[in-house]
């Protein structure tokens, strides 16, 4: 193992730290778990912090703990294949530099593999290769089917809300320490560098597809809608090495992630792992992943895959069994536990996902948000309901007095549940906020899941100190916008239309792109924006001629539509006022919206 350079501090080109592993030095090997951290999570965090360059097997190396995820380097006869280049270009480049500094032969990168469509597995690609190298054909970029659609849309459409919630999930606002952040269970923490994306040049679509990369054979297996909407496994027979992407790491994963995302399919997940067992079990000698550490030995690999397979199958089947008895989401999550044979397996413990919220997500995937009880069909809003709850219970002071008695008995879940009503009824009641914070803090100290801990402790901090107003990074990065198809871009614009403001307005625009030859017609009516690709309306308010780049600049807020028209970057035939009117109907989003207190109406 070669350690990370500079103690794990990685900086951007302006000298600003964008990742700092040194802040977790308190998690040194042998340090006993404090009372403020679940002992099991503490041990997991200690293992995760072991950073540096590691040999997986001959010719396969990983840099770990240089970001939330691992980056892998696979040496072939005539080049290097890089797998999952982290979140940021800076951390990916630092990892490549560390690899080159410790290997005698400086093999050129000839291929990059994105195992799936989450940002911690592609965001640092420009720290590894340039777009010119890819466009020239010197470097291939491989990804599973529908990768680009999911990678570019997941963090753009609902990106503002996801990123705000991710600040809770990964504890980015918490100071590192025994009373704060101890990692995420999946990896140390997220970097905050430059997120990039180079579109793939080779899309894997079918099970069993093979590619020759750097003189090695890569056999692929599709795993869509498991840990990511677009995901794949691959096996290298020459090295007897299997990568199952993020479907079998050393933690129970999320079938629903707390930052928010589409619900994942634990039944399909279990079947993909079952296929891997039957296809490569007994042959593979090392199993490695873009998180955590490898598993060596055929028997141990099969056992590891079976444990994960059966865990996700149990989550699915038992939740479905109980929902068919009529039990609700919360009831099912409280009734079920993993069998001892799985619950006592280290790698299926809930350090990142949790059995409780994974079971809940299975219920929602089948039956949705409504539990069938008409009393819950049309409830009051949290603020209005909370005001009435507090009134029913005798007022805020009475509620807090009773809640304090329950706090003293250690019933922190109930305190958090009931005091939340006081906070939402009286957001400025600091006594209530402090008691709620104390309850959440205790729940955080007990949590085995890193994200649960981070959610609880971040909520406690914001209740005590308020919501910070720090610089925020837009998830709609230039590379993500460039990677989106025209239809995806128009759909994204549609999600920003302020419906009530647009109601009663009708706008029809023909759009032509000079650089790609694409054209479409977009029409606003009834507060909704629709489009038809490859068509032009016979009657329109205006015809707009521009390039994709100018559309991207306008959507990123770097140029106003009116300025682009004035400077000739957008040519208009017809009504300019209809174009500016449409632009005026687009919403903007505040990143630092409230979570543990009410949002302003």
CATH of the domain at 513: 3.30.1050.10
Q: Above pLDDT 90, what percent of the chain?
A: 91
For the segment 489-496, the average pLDDT, to the nearest whole number, is 92
* Domain end among 441, 465, 489: 465
Q: In what order do the strands lie in the sheet with 109-113?
A: 52-57, 60-64, 71-75, 80-83, 109-113, 140-144, 202-204
> CA–CA separation, 506 vs 530, rounded Å?
11
- State the CB neighbour count (10 A cutoff) for residue 29: 8
Residues 156 and 97 in one domain: yes
DSSP string over 333-374? HHH----HHHHT-GGGS-SSS-HHHHHHHHHHHHH-S--S-G
Angle between helices 450-465 and 159-169 (to 10 degrees): 100
Q: Are residues 67 and 94 in the same domain?
A: yes
What are the backbone angles phi and psi of residue 232, rounded to the nearest 5°? Answer: -155, 155
Q: What is the pLDDT of residue 474?
A: 64
Same domain, residue pair 493 and 451 = no
Look at residue 236 and tell me if it is in a domain: yes
Residue at 473 is within a domain: no
Work out the pLDDT band at 471, boundaries 50, 70, 90: confident
Q: Do residues 136 and 247 share a domain?
A: yes
Report the alpha-carbon distance of residue 534 to residue 521 in Å, rounded. 8
**What's the mean pLDDT in 404-418?**
98
Q: Which of 257, 290, 306 is the last residue of a domain?
A: 306
Residues 424 and 496 in one domain: no
Taking residue 426's Cβ as centre, other Cβ atoms within 10 Å add up to 17
Q: Are residues 165 and 258 in the same domain?
A: yes
Does one domain contain both 71 and 164? yes
Give the bridge partners for 55, in sequence order: 61
In a domain, 230, yes or no: yes
Confidence (pLDDT) at 75:
98
Domain shared by 399 and 532, yes or no: no
User: 362 in a domain, yes or no?
Assistant: no
Average pLDDT, the chain: 95
Cα–Cα distance measured from residue 527 to residue 504, given in angstroms and rounded to the nearest whole number: 7
Token pair for 319: 């939740």
Query: Residue 27: which CATH number?
Result: 3.60.15.30
* Residue ending a domain, choose from 440, 465, 490: 465
Q: Is 450 a member of any domain?
A: yes
Question: What is the pLDDT at residue 601?
Answer: 55
Please report, for the domain that includes residue 448, its CATH number: 1.25.40.880
Q: Which helix (H) or strand (E) holds 532?
A: strand 528-533
Asked if residue 566 has pLDDT above 60, the reply is: yes
Q: Could you list the residue range(s) of the whole structural domain that residue 421 is in? A: 379-465
Which residues, 6+ apart, have CB-to-CB distance to 506 below 8 Å?
Answer: 523, 524, 525
Least confident of 160-169, 241-250, 356-365: 160-169
Please report, in angstroms and rounded to a whole number, the separation of the first and last CA atoms in the chain.
54
Largest CA distance in the chain: 76
pTM for the model stands at 0.94
Q: What is the distance between the alpha carbons of residues 299 and 287, in angstroms, rounded to a whole number?
A: 11
- Res. 319: pLDDT tops 80: yes
Asked if the structure places residue 42 within a domain, the reply is yes
* 373 located within any domain: no
Task: Measure the CA–CA gap between 91 and 70, rounded to whole angstroms.
Answer: 10
Please answer whether residues 152 and 491 qualify as being in contact, where contact means their C-beta atoms are separated by less than 8 angstroms: no
Domain count, the chain: 3
Q: How is residue 81 written in tokens? A: 């294949």
Determine, yes or no, domain membership for 532: yes
| pLDDT for position 156 | 82
Within this chain, do residues 101 and 76 fall inside the same structural domain, yes or no? Answer: yes
Distance CA 389, CA 383 (A): 10
Same structural domain for residues 455 and 498?
no
143-200 confidence digits (pLDDT tens): 999 999 998 777 788 888 999 999 999 999 999 999 999 999 999 999 999 999 999 9
The more confident residue out of 478 and 47 is: 47
Of 460, 421, 431, which Cα lies nearest the Cα of 443?
Answer: 460
Query: Would you state the pLDDT for residue 377?
Result: 95
- The reply to whether 224 and 88 lie within a common domain is yes
Instruction: Give the full edge-to-edge strand order of the sheet including 295-296.
Output: 210-213, 216-222, 232-236, 241-243, 286-288, 295-296
What does the pLDDT average to over 208-216?
A: 98
Grade residue 556 by pLDDT with cuts at 50, 70 and 90.
confident
For residue range 422-462, what is the model confidence (pLDDT) as tens digits? Answer: 999 999 999 999 999 999 999 999 999 999 999 999 999 99
Distance CA 311, CA 250 (A): 13
In this structure, are 286 and 400 located in the same domain?
no
Task: Categorise residue 402: left if φ over 0, alpha if ψ from -120 to 50, beta otherwise.
Answer: alpha
The C-alpha atoms of residue 555 and residue 495 are separated, in whole angstroms, by: 13
Question: What's the confidence (pLDDT) of residue 555?
Answer: 86
DSSP 28: -
**513 close to 486: Cβ distance less than 8 angstroms:** yes
């Amino acid at each position: 193992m070669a350690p990370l350079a500079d103690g794990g501090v990685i900086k951007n080109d302006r000298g600003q730290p964008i990742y700092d592993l040194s802040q977790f030095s308190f998690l040194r090997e042998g340090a006993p778990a404090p009372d403020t951290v679940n002992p099991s999570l503490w041990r997991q965090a200690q293992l995760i912090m072991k950073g540096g360059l590691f040999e997986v097997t001959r010719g396969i190396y990983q840099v770990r703990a240089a970001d939330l995820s691992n980056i892998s380097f696979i040496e072939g006869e005539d080049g290097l294949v890089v797998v999952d280049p982290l979140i940021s270009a800076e951390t990916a480049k630092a990892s490549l530099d560390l690899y080159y500094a410790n290997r005698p032969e400086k093999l050129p990168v000839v291929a990059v593999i994105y195992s799936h469509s989450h940002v911690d597995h592609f965001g640092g690609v420009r720290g590894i290769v340039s777009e010119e190298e890819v466009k020239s054909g010197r470097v291939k970029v491989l990804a599973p089917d529908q990768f680009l659609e999911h990678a570019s849309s997941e963090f753009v459409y609902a990106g503002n809300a996801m990123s705000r919630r991710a600040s809770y999930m990964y504890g980015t606002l918490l100071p590192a320490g025994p009373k704060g952040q101890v990692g995420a269970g999946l990896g140390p923490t997220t970097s905050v560098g430059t997120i990039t994306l180079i579109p793939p040049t080779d899309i894997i679509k079918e099970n069993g597809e093979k590619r020759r990369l750097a003189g090695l054979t890569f056999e692929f297996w599709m795993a869509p809608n498991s840990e990511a909407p677009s995901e794949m496994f691959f096996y290298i027979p020459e090295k007897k090495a299997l990568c199952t992407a993020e479907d079998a790491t050393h933690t129970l994963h999320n079938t629903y992630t707390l930052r928010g995302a589409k619900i994942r399919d634990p039944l399909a997940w279990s079947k993909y792992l079952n296929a891997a067992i039957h296809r490569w079990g007994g042959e593979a000698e090392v199993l490695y992943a873009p998180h955590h550490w490898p598993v060596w030995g055929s028997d141990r690999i099969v056992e590891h895959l079976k444990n994960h397979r059966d865990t996700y199958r149990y989550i699915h089947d038992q939740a479905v069994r109980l929902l068919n008895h009529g039990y609700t989401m919360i009831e099912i999550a409280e009734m079920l536990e993993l069998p001892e044979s799985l619950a006592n397996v280290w790698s299926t413990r809930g350090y990142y996902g949790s059995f409780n919220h994974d079971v809940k997500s299975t219920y929602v995937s089948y039956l949705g948000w409504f539990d069938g009880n008409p009393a819950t069909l049309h409830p009051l809003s949290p603020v209005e309901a909370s005001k009435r709850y507090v009134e029913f219970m005798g007022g805020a002071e009475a509620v807090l007095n009773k809640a304090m008695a329950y706090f003293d008995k250690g019933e922190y879940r109930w305190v958090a549940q009931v005091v939340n009503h006081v906070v939402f009824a009286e957001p400025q009641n600091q006594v209530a906020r402090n008691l709620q914070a104390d309850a959440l803090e205790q729940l955080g100290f007990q949590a085995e899941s890193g994200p649960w801990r981070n959610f609880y402790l971040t909520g406690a901090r914001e209740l005590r100190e308020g919501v910070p107003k720090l610089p925020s990074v837009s998830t709609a990065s230039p590379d993500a916008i460039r990677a989106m198809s025209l239809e995806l871009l128009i759909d994204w614009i549609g999600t920003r239309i302020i419906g009530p403001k647009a109601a009663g307005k009708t706008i029809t625009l023909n759009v032509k792109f000079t650089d790609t030859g694409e054209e479409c017609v977009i029409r606003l009516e009834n507060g909704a924006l629709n489009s038809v690709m490859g068509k032009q309306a016979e009657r329109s308010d205006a015809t707009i001629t521009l390039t994709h780049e100018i559309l991207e600049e306008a959507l990123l807020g770097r140029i106003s539509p009116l300025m682009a028209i004035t400077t000739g970057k957008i040519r208009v035939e017809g009504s300019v006022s209809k174009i500016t009117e449409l632009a005026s109907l687009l919403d903007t989003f505040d990143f630092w919206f409230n979570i543990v207190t009410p949002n302003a109406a």
